[in-house]
Chain A
Amino acid sequence: MEKWIFENKLSPGDIVMLTAAIRDLHKAYPGRFQTDVRTPCPAIWQNNPWLTSLKHDEPGVRSMVCHYPLIQQCNDAPYHFIHGFIEHLNDELGLRIRPTAFKGDIHLSEAEVDRFSMGETTLDGQHPYWIIAAGGKYDYTIKWWHRRRWQAVVDEFRGKVQFVQVGEKGHYHPPLKGVLDLRGKTNLRELIRLVYHAEGICCPVTLLMHLAAAVPLPPGRQRLRNCIVIAGGREPAHWEQYPGHHFLHTIGQLECCSTGGCWKSRTVPLGDGSPLDDPDALCRDVTSAGMPRCMDMITVQSVCEIIGRFYLQTETT
């Protein structure tokens, strides 16, 4: 039995991708490995059946930092983010792991499944809801859509769709009107439960889109969880998009993302001394409204049409 501690210190979305790699490692090599992890956001690994508690100083325990160097080819090669850690493990450990599911691997306990999410509790369990994340971290401002557009989406469905706004405290999440405001009020497990019970999700490229796929569906639910991702031209769709997701992108439509994602970081410099302020990390095409042009090209109407189609289909059914 090989004993490995896999390490990674990236953001929660990346860690969700690592859950897929660990799952697929065990499925490819049943009984050959014992695995543990050292990552931020340990809540992501709660209830994960593939982990065994290992310590660095135990005999026979080895460790490695997991990367996804495949990202360097992501614009051209036919790979999804889910292949990233898997290929790295294959290369480093001489394995032939293959993805077994097009999603990360999040597990809920029975108690978590049975309990209402915070959204349902607040809404008396009566109303289906969509999760909306109208912003993100301050260091990657290029991912932001304009707050008035998020508001316009909410307004369009006022009285028809209940939106629950989430976002981490300290990040940029401007308040929206007419939503259930859970910004800064959910820990990661609560966010996962919120996703579990949600009808759909509307967000930029962020953790939530990975959770939308990785969090299992409630029993009896047939349709994939809806997720509309306002993506623009930063990242190639085939690298990020999951089945059933609506990844609204502009790859191939602008000069700056004509052949792939630009992978820039910020719309304008923030003046915080970060290398993300470097000229080559800044958006090359900012509109007079202060948005990256690729994000500006994604209209409120296009988002509303997708949400509207979901309800049209639901009513027909």
Chain B
Amino acid sequence: MLNAIIAEPEPNFRDPRLCEGFEPQHWPLCNGGAASFPDATDPHDRRCLEFLAGFYRLNLLHSRLLEFREKSAPEISIQDLLSKIAVATSDLEKTEDRYSSIGLFGEPEMDGVRYRNIVFVHPQITGVFTETSVSPLVAIPGLEEIPASELKGPAKIIRFGHGKVDL
């Protein structure tokens, strides 16, 4: 089945900083500094917030787990927390997957088991494509059969089934 996903920011994302009971000590740094505001509109900022929210959730759960173990909480409570950690980890991986196709990911810097800072690696989109493409050097079979009169004027781009091999 064809599956046309687009790596757009999640439209239903809820910033945990706007949620009741937010615990700021578990919110990680973003590239060593403060994250964008919750109402940020830049798509890259929105994507980063999704990652940060995922790491925040894990920080929060890890912190609870440490507390429970210190208090020798009932095993069932610990098992419940471990299940939540598994779900949160899986959710974070889904966020990673969502943006892997554009090369965006958050590389965490740790402080013990705590995600202290998330360094984001992403393409400099505006710098990826330049007009100094090598495309004029791609062989175009059949060009010689086109009358010279039709080769004047603005350049025409004709696509063939095979792109150039770009290694």
Contacts and interface: CB of A to CB of B under 8 A. Distances in A.
What's the dominant secondary structure at chain A's contact region? Answer: loop
A287 interface: yes
B157 A12 contact: no
B137 A9 contact: yes
A274 B129 contact: yes
Interface string B39-60: 0000000000000000000000
Given A263-B163, A285-B2, A290-B5, A10 B125 contact: no
Contact of A273 (B100, B107, B129, B163): B129
Given A263-B163, A268-B7, A138 B2 contact: no
B138 to A, nearest CB: 8
A1 B1 CA distance: 59
Contacts of B98: 290
Contacts of A261: 162
B142 to A, nearest CB: 9
A75 interface: yes
Interface residues of B, number: 41
A72 B141 contact: yes
B73 interface: no
A69 B6 CA distance: 34
A40 to B, nearest CB: 9
A24 B4 CA distance: 45
Contacts of B3: 285-288, 293
A14 B123 contact: no
Given A272-B126, A288-B97, A141 B164 contact: no
A264 B166 contact: no
Contact of B128 (A139, A206, A290, A291): A139
Contact of B5 (A12, A72, A81, A268): A268
A147 B159 CA distance: 31
Interface stretch (A48-56, A152-160, A276-284, A307-315): A276-284
A179 to B, nearest CB: 14
A286 B101 CA distance: 9
B167 interface: yes
A270 B123 CA distance: 9
Given A174-B105, A263-B162, A10 B134 contact: yes
B7 A65 contact: no
Given A72-B141, A75-B162, A147 B134 contact: no
Interface in B121-135: 121, 123-126, 128-129, 134-135
A271 B100 contact: no
Interface string B148-165: 000000000101111111
B63 to A, nearest CB: 24
Specify which of A144, A147, A280, A290 lies most central, judged by the most chain B CB atoms within 10 Å of its CB.
Answer: A290
Interface residues of A, number: 62
B2 A69 contact: no
Nearest to B43: A271
B139 to A, nearest CB: 4
A10 B133 CA distance: 9
Nearest to B107: A175
Interface string B1-15: 111111100000000
B86 interface: no
12 contacts: A14-B167, A67-B138, A69-B139, A71-B165, A139-B128, A144-B100, A175-B107, A268-B102, A272-B129, A278-B159, A285-B2, A289-B100
Name the 9 nearest CB pairs between A and B, nearest first. A13-B167, A274-B129, A267-B101, A67-B139, A69-B139, A290-B101, A172-B103, A289-B97, A138-B123
Interface of B: 1-7, 93, 96-103, 105, 107, 121, 123-126, 128-129, 134-135, 137-139, 141, 157, 159-167
Given A71-B139, A139-B129, 18 more contacts: A13-B167, A67-B137, A72-B139, A72-B160, A72-B161, A174-B107, A174-B121, A205-B167, A235-B165, A261-B162, A265-B163, A268-B101, A270-B102, A271-B125, A285-B1, A285-B2, A286-B101, A289-B100
Interface of A: 8-14, 65, 67-69, 71-72, 74-75, 81, 88, 135, 137-141, 144, 146-148, 170, 172, 174-175, 205-207, 210, 235, 261, 263-265, 267-276, 278, 280-281, 284-291, 293
